[in-house]
Structure 1
């Protein structure tokens, strides 16, 4: 049995790793010949402004008084340059956005392994091809373009990362720092002959990365006064820098200015997915080689933005974000970035037809060079008779059709089971399918003999199933924060704790005082969590940052949440309730709204599930019913107590999978990064730290999983069921789902479509592997016992 289980686990590891080998390796190739336009370029220098996190609509629209938030930029649109919308791709994050802007390709998913801060592979960029590049801004963005540059010609000037504090009083200082340092740089250049000669060269780039708008958006949301005022500050700063450049270079007309953004931001202050508020960013260009404004009577766009922005009479020129890189290289006459896939937007160019034609031809040859190198590499590692381009789709279609035919036979025999699997599959795309499944669960006891045997348990099951079914119908976490709901969830936990403490005080056994002390510690932890959530929000609203004491309490609560339950009794009910109290304290600290109630409702349903499974097993005559207060967790369970599998155990395994999926998607969708709000971690830290913030968010996601698995440990114990047998059934269910998602994997379309299809397959394939480790954590929490005094009882794994 152990050998079979190990072999199955190994096979799933291989299947899991195969997806990463296929999809999570860099598609970039090297060895291409640089391509550049032989004609003289219109500009000697280029200035790139990137306002991080700036939405197109917030920049272009007029405020409530009918005036522009960025009057200088709007004046450029109407009188000096060309404008449009730059369409970004998912993930709408800072690194991928800047890579698309400056290197001309969309960052491959392999970069996520290094947090999008270091280069997983070296790539060419506009900065590398330039004669010199000077850049100012965030230490998270600038180094990656300097690290991959050949020679020593890309210079970076960054502030301390600690400045990127979402709880800071004034995030506009991040942009002010950039503007001030650029002005100081040019002032210094007047007295430094070596530097002066460098900035007087041609084919040079100046890059200003402005992070204040993004930081204010995360902290206060794009609808806030802080976010909108920051746009005005950036507009004023850009105006000063443009004036300084024109004065420094004697208005020689050889400077090109480009103003854009790496990504937008949702109304709730996050980014990462494909909502238009995240993917529509501004692009305004002017100066040498750029077309002047073009007045038009009508424009054909599907959206209604032009009228809202009152720019319907100025020609709007939309581009894909990667198209900006070839535009910039064409303007200053450097080779196109070798890995660029951008298409030159010639409508932005103010030059001869010959120059445009030569630039388009160079662009096409540069992209063709990548294809030739990629094809050569593919031939070298592929057997000759297998190298048949564009014909593999036929084989895939044949297998799919046959499978649709190795499935038509199963539908007839396992209609109900298949329907349940389909509900699980559809829930990955439509969260409300979980509502349909939970509603069906609520009806289940009334269709069996459970209703006649246990009316109270059946009604409780139906009530909590329907209550849990409400959550998938609600907006994803983070869109409508409401701290009052977090406080309400805390009060419910305290009310339940009071009931447990009252019952403990009535007991007279020798462990009563110890148990009472443990629960009082957990009640205190819940109260402190509620206080920290409320005071932290108040402090951030006053722009006073995260109080140090709140931070200490939060981390202490998190650290103790996995230890305190081990001090409680091994009785099933008391241990599970202790685990709930400890994990809820941490979950409250990580909550911003209604999701704080979710683990509580889920746990209530889990308690009822344990009772109802006892009833179903008793009615079949398999075992006698025991009180949950008399059953204790023990790792050294007598194997002779285990029974054989019954047909109803398939239903139990399906319930486990369904509850795990509900825990996964009940309050959001992990396939969409922007389901999570950075405000969730503000009780722990506000200084930007992607890995730490990501780890805290992942623990928030895991808490409902742990609650479900701990409850399932009790189900296995009370129904005398071997966990190994159950895992075999869960393995079959997850593999059927994985097979379904395998044929839904896409290698075409948008990155959002491709990434979503891959993530679904990986999630389901890793479910079995994930359950093994989660089961180990659940066993640790339920079977290990520590004592406040004396020797610990031996229940180690």
Structure 2
């Protein structure tokens, strides 16, 4: 993008400005095209990998035998880890004595294995509806259902539920009719800064007691409660809230578990007494997800994916004694439960278990397998229940196959051979024959085989178009990257000469690609494909048309490259490849950034800049080494260290004083001393932020909540910081320094530990980078090297002095991409978004609000990006290089990384492996789009200035 700046206050002609504007008229079109293409590439991954697995139109399946229980009580202790419940206290006593007694004497127990994301909504959907919700549903709505789904609650006669307003309504709104009732506390009750979050659980227990007491005087309610197929759901959020606020190893978290144990005991006793101990009530206690030691969840650490499951009451097996059993996690000895059989399940298996216990149809979209070992019933009942389970999943398979067959040309359709129509009939006949012959074990075994095949078939048809779509996106990717490379070579280098356009060939080419596009569109139309498929499949057509149009340029380039030194070319390609590989590797191992920064530290020595500017080179090396420490620090899993945040604030103020003193002594005749007042306001804002962080966390520590004044100051700082920034002078060092102060005042409020020091180290390196690039300019023999001390961002750079690209400019662009990746991974990784410490936003709010908290976290992640982008903007204008050419190189590097991750996306292995590979692709694509936005934002922050009326100075005569 050509660097256009208005000429107010600069000795440049209006004509020059208009020439610059005209030269850049093609830029908005290119930027819009780039944004559109990358948005398509990004969104495509959701159609390919994140499309909803749900299908509709199945027939409900129900076990034909009478169920063992008339009612079910489901306790979900939100955020409860398996080890936190099962392990003994330091004195050897059980943490939850009632539940410990249940699993030792009355019921069955095990571990429920969850999938990522380990969040409340997906966990509850898996528990109650029996399927693993499309991950994007979390982004589409926390409380609302992006798609309708069936659940155990919907299939019940009546369901009463108590708990969080974030969870209960989605199951009530998805139910047909009016038989799912919810009782929720106020949303503001979910306060991480509250004195005791266990009151959320106390609220639930108290309201359940009140509910049963009131039913004795309400005949309608009393009759409803005595019906069959009744579900009571108690959602207990206190443990999760205390875990976020105080960590799972805290006294508050452990005490909350004891309170839940006591509450479960009281409710179980109350219900048994209410129904006259009829032995027809089944109880289940589990959790939607666990929690890491540092109080977060969302990723795939075992502490997040291993949750407790205790089942007792009607139709449930008693404890089974064993002499030995083996599990990879080796928890049994630690829990002192090695002699009681542990029955592990997948989280989705709990829904068919609940349906089987009370005799309701299995949820239509359930993919869970009934865990028979939990049932204490006849072999016939188990076989019939398993058969129902198999038919219910097979129904989904048949609907999915039918849908795919309808939208695919018959000669292109490939069936899932292990479950052809004849194979389905054979399976069903054989299972039914085994049941009639009372060969129940054989029937169950065959049912499990049928379930496995049906699930495999569901996956087969769900991913049927994946290869086709993936190839289309890959072709678009390669075409776009090739086109950008050609634009760079043609417009910004001397490697090719202008080639006259052959109009006849161009016309033939245009009609050829237009015909190809029409054929693709017709092919998609007769298959009634979704409209998004048209975008993915047609996008490569115009992209490759633009590439093929430049064949004369490609031929000319090939001739020139062959004339170059082969060894140099190969060496250059190897270095570029190694650099991109280090960037890709850093997404898996942050320590790769440390290696890269240590290599960067030796850059001045390799390029002889060490001899030109020893002092700057030494500072560069020291700051590279300093920044290299951050990727080695823990991402999460640390206790808040507020003294480090305070130290970062004080260090910022100390640097500010020295910088301000230096500015006051400078001899820049264009500078207005009144402008320096802005820095005093910004320094005051930094000091205030430092105090607010300290004060807020002290207040929360003594359980007095978030002070209202601190909250007001935090939000005012967030709003006022960018305004103060735009009031500062636009001289290079002054504006960059102002950007640091404004961003630091907000960043401090969002910090809880060492990460508060990260922007300071990063900015220091960026500051030296600008100076080092200035020193490197002499290699190009430029006639005018701008003086950084008096350089003003708002003064136009003469476009006639913009030079052509050199190999060194690829290194500059690589530095920028590397620093952008470092800005993201320096103190975090993908888990810092998916699974973060709520303490980061406590200066702004403590009441649970996922989108507000997520927005503040994204702001925290973006702040280092802004620092790097503004530094890169300074490098572009001071090295007299068109920002369009430099940014195009950045685009190519980031697109090569994105293509790399596109091919690394998995649809096999563990759910965590699949999720991580997709997350990396989405992340790098987001970075590409984000860098486009950052480029524009950096120009705004560096060149624009808000004008305020100034006092006129009166001179005495």
* Range of TM-score over shorter length: over 0.9
Q: Secondary structure at the match of 2:722?
A: coil
- 2:640 aligns with one of 472, 481, 493: 481
Task: Quickly say closer, same or farther: Cα 1:781–1:75, change in 2 above 3 A.
Answer: same
Distance 2:638 2:143 in 1: 27
Q: Give the Å deviation of 1:412.
A: 7.1
Distance 1:66 1:379 in 2: 60
Distance 1:412 1:380 in 2: 53
CA deviations on 1:596-635 (whole Å, 9 max, x unpaired) are 0011100000001101111112233235443322111027
- 1:743 aligns with one of 895, 903, 920: 903
* 2:242 is the alignment partner of 1:83: no
Q: Give the Å deviation of 1:507.
A: 5.2
* 2:182 is the alignment partner of 1:156: yes
Specify the alignment match of 1:140 in structure 2: 166
Q: Residue 271 of structure 1 contacts residue 673 of structure 1 at CA under 8 Å; is this kept in 2?
A: no
Q: Secondary structure at the match of 1:135?
A: strand
Specify the alignment match of 1:200 in structure 2: 226
Task: Quickly say closer, same or farther: Cα 1:623–1:688, change in 2 above 3 A.
Answer: farther
Task: Quickly say closer, same or farther: Cα 1:235–1:457, change in 2 above 3 A.
Answer: same
Q: Residue 478 of structure 1 contacts residue 675 of structure 1 at CA under 8 Å; is this kept in 2?
A: no
- 2:371 aligns with one of 326, 331, 345: 345
* 2:707 is the alignment partner of 1:547: yes
* 2:431 is the alignment partner of 1:431: no
Task: Quickly say closer, same or farther: Cα 1:31–1:233, change in 2 above 3 A.
Answer: same
Q: Give the Å deviation of 1:645.
A: 1.3
Distance 2:783 2:706 in 1: 55
The 5 A counterparts of 1:203-602 are 203-388=229-414, 414-477=573-636, 479-506=638-665, 511-602=671-762
Structure 1 or 2, whichever has the larger Rg, is 2
CA deviations on 1:491-542 (whole Å, 9 max, x unpaired) are 1101111112222343576854422211111111111111101111110011
The 5 A counterparts of 1:658-697 are 658-671=818-831, 673=833, 675-697=835-857
Specify the alignment match of 1:794 in structure 2: none
Specify the alignment match of 2:129 in structure 1: 103
CA deviations on 1:78-120 (whole Å, 9 max, x unpaired) are 1100001111110111111100100001111231232432100
CA deviations on 1:137-179 (whole Å, 9 max, x unpaired) are 0000000000010000000000001100000111111001100
Task: Quickly say closer, same or farther: Cα 1:455–1:510, change in 2 above 3 A.
Answer: closer
Q: Give the Å deviation of 1:456.
A: 1.2
The 5 A counterparts of 1:718-797 are 718-790=878-950
Q: Give the Å deviation of 1:674.
A: 5.3
Q: Residue 135 of structure 1 contacts residue 142 of structure 1 at CA under 8 Å; is this kept in 2?
A: yes
Specify the alignment match of 1:795 in structure 2: none
Distance 1:411 1:337 in 2: 60
Specify the alignment match of 2:153 in structure 1: 127
Q: Secondary structure at the match of 2:165?
A: coil
Q: Residue 504 of structure 1 contacts residue 512 of structure 1 at CA under 8 Å; is this kept in 2?
A: no
Q: Residue 877 of structure 2 contacts residue 883 of structure 2 at CA under 8 Å; is this kept in 1?
A: no
- 2:789 aligns with one of 629, 632, 644: 629
Distance 1:260 1:253 in 2: 21
Task: Judge which range, 674-683 or 638-647, deviates more.
Answer: 638-647
* 2:82 is the alignment partner of 1:56: yes
Distance 1:699 1:626 in 2: 34
Task: Quickly say closer, same or farther: Cα 1:556–1:652, change in 2 above 3 A.
Answer: same
Q: Give the Å deviation of 1:448.
A: 1.4
Q: Secondary structure at the match of 1:259?
A: strand
Q: Secondary structure at the match of 2:72?
A: strand
Give the paired residue count. 790
Specify the alignment match of 2:524 in structure 1: none
Distance 2:870 2:571 in 1: 36
Q: Residue 618 of structure 1 contacts residue 624 of structure 1 at CA under 8 Å; is this kept in 2?
A: no
- TM-score by length of structure 1 reads 0.96
Task: Quickly say closer, same or farther: Cα 1:395–1:532, change in 2 above 3 A.
Answer: closer
Distance 1:264 1:232 in 2: 17
Q: Residue 671 of structure 1 contacts residue 759 of structure 1 at CA under 8 Å; is this kept in 2?
A: no
CA deviations on 1:343-396 (whole Å, 9 max, x unpaired) are 100000000111111111111111111111111111122222332257989999
Q: Residue 617 of structure 1 contacts residue 623 of structure 1 at CA under 8 Å; is this kept in 2?
A: no
Distance 1:760 1:24 in 2: 14
Distance 2:630 2:384 in 1: 58
Task: Judge which range, 696-705 or 732-741, deviates more.
Answer: 732-741
Specify the alignment match of 2:93 in structure 1: 67
Distance 2:603 2:301 in 1: 38
CA deviations on 1:14-35 (whole Å, 9 max, x unpaired) are 2222222223331211101100
Task: Quickly say closer, same or farther: Cα 1:616–1:582, change in 2 above 3 A.
Answer: same
Q: Give the Å deviation of 1:54.
A: 0.5
Q: Residue 356 of structure 2 contacts residue 385 of structure 2 at CA under 8 Å; is this kept in 1?
A: yes
Task: Quickly say closer, same or farther: Cα 1:279–1:394, change in 2 above 3 A.
Answer: closer
- TM-score by length of structure 2 reads 0.80
Specify the alignment match of 1:190 in structure 2: 216
Distance 1:198 1:587 in 2: 55
Q: Residue 536 of structure 1 contacts residue 546 of structure 1 at CA under 8 Å; is this kept in 2?
A: yes
Q: Secondary structure at the match of 2:839?
A: helix
Q: Residue 256 of structure 1 contacts residue 286 of structure 1 at CA under 8 Å; is this kept in 2?
A: yes
* 2:764 is the alignment partner of 1:604: yes
Distance 2:467 2:725 in 1: 56
* 2:201 is the alignment partner of 1:175: yes
- Gap runs ≥5 in structure 1: 792-797
* 2:709 is the alignment partner of 1:709: no
Q: Give the Å deviation of 1:440.
A: 0.7
Task: Quickly say closer, same or farther: Cα 1:720–1:401, change in 2 above 3 A.
Answer: closer
Q: Give the Å deviation of 1:790.
A: 4.2
Q: Give the Å deviation of 1:762.
A: 2.1
- 1:653 aligns with one of 813, 825, 829: 813
Distance 1:4 1:785 in 2: 27
Distance 2:49 2:783 in 1: 50
Distance 1:776 1:394 in 2: 36
Q: Give the Å deviation of 1:39.
A: 0.6
Q: Residue 290 of structure 2 contacts residue 297 of structure 2 at CA under 8 Å; is this kept in 1?
A: yes
Specify the alignment match of 2:556 in structure 1: none
Q: Secondary structure at the match of 1:629?
A: helix
Distance 1:749 1:116 in 2: 28
Q: Secondary structure at the match of 1:134?
A: strand
Q: Secondary structure at the match of 1:84?
A: strand
Q: Secondary structure at the match of 1:600?
A: helix
Q: Give the Å deviation of 1:312.
A: 0.9
CA deviations on 1:406-427 (whole Å, 9 max, x unpaired) are 99x9977611110000000011
Q: Residue 478 of structure 1 contacts residue 593 of structure 1 at CA under 8 Å; is this kept in 2?
A: no
Task: Quickly say closer, same or farther: Cα 1:396–1:114, change in 2 above 3 A.
Answer: closer
